[in-house]
Amino acid sequence: MRKIINLNKNWKFIQRDAGLPQSFPEDWDSVELPHTWNAIDGHDGNGKYDRGCYWYARKFETPSQPLPGGRVFLDIPAAGQQASVYVNGKGVGYHEGGYSTFRVDITDECKRHGENLLVIACSNENKSSVYPQSADFTFYGGLYRGVNLISVPHTHFELEHWGTSGLSVTALPDGRGGAEFALESEIRGGDENFTVMYRICNAEGREVAVAIRPADAAAVKISVPEVTLWDCDHPYLYTVSAVLQRRNEAYDEVSARIGVRSFSCHPEKGFILNGVPTPLRGVSRHQDMLYKGNALTREDHYQDARIIKELGANTIRLAHYQHSQDFYDACDELGFIVWAEIPFISIMNQDPAAHENCISQLKELVIQNRNHASICFWGISNEILIGGISEKLVENHRELNALCKELDSTRLTTIAHVSMTPLDSPLHGITDVESYNHYFGWYGQKMEDNGPWLDDFHRMHPDICLGLSEYGCEGIITYHGPDPACKDYSEEYQALYHEHMAKVLSSRPWIWSSHVWNMFDFGCAARNEGGVSGRNNKGLVTMDRKTKKDSYYIYKAYWNREPMVHLCGRRYAQRAGDTTEIRVYSNQPEVSLFLNGELEGVQSADKVFVFSVALKPGFNQITAAAGECRDSMTIERVEKEPEIYVLPEVNERAEGVANWFSLMGDLDLKAPMEFPEGKYNIRCKLEDIARSPEAMEVTSKAVKLATNFELAPGVGMWDMMKSMTPEAMVKMAGSMMPEGFAESLNAQLIQIDKPE
């Protein structure tokens, strides 16, 4: 029978490209898996992180097998981003793609007796044939999901076909209270003496169906007359096992936990689960944590899932790559609808090998995860038009979509469009459903523009199922104030933004899904924004999972049916002024507010309750009550609020815009823009502008004012942004920028000659 041997302990690691050791390297550092060498520098704010090829080594003994001809496989659930595998000095495998399982048959290289030397070289260096290449997150390197040995008899369920489990199950309701289970297994080394016994057991462990098939024709469909459906509130799971037998002996066994459910999307009704319209409202998630990087344990993954479940979300977009089997398992068990995707992101590389890598990563994603009840959507790209459009890009999307359908016809395909994707883009209509990443109210325009934009798209494309795949804004728990505004990075503005967005979405059930960007702050070593570098701080929860920001609780009020009340502004703990605003979130119809033990007022409202109170000098105790729920906080009235509450660059940015215009003199900014030959202009790509230091200096200042991004060749997110134009970036900023800003930038650029 199969043995799975964990190899996570007793590794040696060296953080330099030391080359293949000929013997066990006792002088290397000792580490345990999961491990990444970017656990700190991947988000510590130093502006860069270590991207190299580094080496792991471990000794192991060959597992014993009672039957002759047994095989030994190395099982690597993920290695970021490329990996080369050696056993006893011989290269046995190579894998490109940092997020999926791959296996290597190492039987012939293993010693029959004594110790073997296993060496794995991992690289997170940029490689033109491997996605992701340019994106707004850290590409962690290392063996961050552990390593196993799998010992099997000569005849066994398949292990090498795209990392498969060897068992594929599709379970669909039959419309009569039962379900049909379509089972298929792949077997290596079988003959006419072998059979496969399939068993289906319910969640209580009782067998409800069984079937026997010859190993060379192991596919079968089994009808189960009465089933319990899987849904978000009751994620009921069956266990399907396949036992490979020869006469009276079991050789190998695999199993999967399966949910029976039906789903679809409709342009007007939105997402439909088991025949019931069920708007999907939830979050996106990256797989990293503070000072762990992406080297997470099974418990870390389950902790994240539980925090999201407490929020009341019913969907998770797992961005922007294949996540751990542990997290997919948690989603199956807790009842989330999952959007799973490949890292085809930002910019399409023209290298044909890169498209082949997309294909291989998509095959691994689908084949390795098709048994998960939670997964209903396969995502084929994210914000890919940042790098521009071409016929080849459209063709590649059609090919990826067709491949999804070939591999798994039971699920829907989707895509996440960058905000500026035209309404008539040829990328529309390729996938079954679509979503947009919009940051109106943060990177551009106003939060109030979100609803009208969604309505306009819906009117223009009544046949397209539309979702909102990303939306959000930075919220840094240091910053506070009585008048929150866009780009002040305050916890208060983030909460106001999400108050608005939660209301927008609740009134539009036809939006098939929405995903907050992001559930947790996450590592992006290239970022330097809002006084916190190395991270994207749009999370509803901090990267260490210690603090749920106020914005977390507005969604809990909308999505979680369990009674709750939450006082906002507890970290805005020192306040000046005669009165202050107290905001309360609750899913109850009425909230009472108490100030220093005295009833201050009672309000009826929908989710958001706003009180104005007069604080006494010194400390004040504030309590909110809604039904049986209570929440309390302490606020100190002070003469002057701490300077740390306001990010200095908030005021500097406003002054910078004013100074920008003062440089323009008497220029008529309402005159038609000109684009003379041989001169730079706002329609030039940033990578072309970078050829002129003078043009780059002007443009960098403009981009900083318009978007708050630092822009310099080779620094930060340059690789992702270099294909954009200043015109596109100013359009993204929209109403955030004063009238005439684009014209003023163009007026300066057309004074600068392009190099010959």
Q: Which residues are catalytic?
A: 383
Token pair belonging to 466: 């539309």
6 beta partners? 148
Do 380 and 413 contact (CB within 8 A), yes or no? yes
Q: Please name the residue that has the structure tokens 């596109």.
A: 728
- What are residue 306's phi and psi, to 5 degrees? -70, -40
Nearest residue to 546 via CA among 623, 633, 477: 477
Long-range Cβ contacts of 707-711 (<8 Å, 24+ apart): 707/443, 707/732, 707/733, 708/487, 708/529, 708/530, 708/649, 708/653, 709/529, 710/528, 711/686
- Per-residue burial over 726-748, b if 16 or more Cβ lie within 10 Å, else e, is bbbbbbbbbebbeebbbbbbbbb
Token pair belonging to 284: 């996106």
3-state secondary structure of 229: coil
Token pair belonging to 593: 């507010």
CA 243 – CA 224 distance, rounded (Å): 19
Q: Please name the residue that has the structure tokens 């521009």.
A: 388
Do 361 and 80 contact (CB within 8 A), yes or no? no
3-state secondary structure of 187: strand
**Distance (Å) of CA 358 to CA 46, 369, 566:** 31, 16, 44
Q: Please name the residue that has the structure tokens 């701080």.
A: 537
Nearest residue to 198 via CA among 184, 187, 186: 184
**Helix and strand counts by DSSP (H, E) for the chain:** 13, 40
CA 104 – CA 613 distance, rounded (Å): 67
CA 581 – CA 535 distance, rounded (Å): 30
- How many residues appear in the chain? 756
CA 455 – CA 464 distance, rounded (Å): 12
**Distance (Å) of CA 621 to CA 135, 307, 608:** 45, 28, 20
Do 474 and 492 contact (CB within 8 A), yes or no? no
Do 420 and 755 contact (CB within 8 A), yes or no? no
The upper half-sphere exposure of residue 326, i.e. CA atoms within 13 Å in the direction of its Cβ, equals 19
Do 484 and 493 contact (CB within 8 A), yes or no? yes
263 beta partners? 273
CA 318 – CA 295 distance, rounded (Å): 16
Identity (one letter) of the amino acid at 754? K
3-state secondary structure of 482: coil
Do 344 and 360 contact (CB within 8 A), yes or no? no
CA 290 – CA 522 distance, rounded (Å): 8
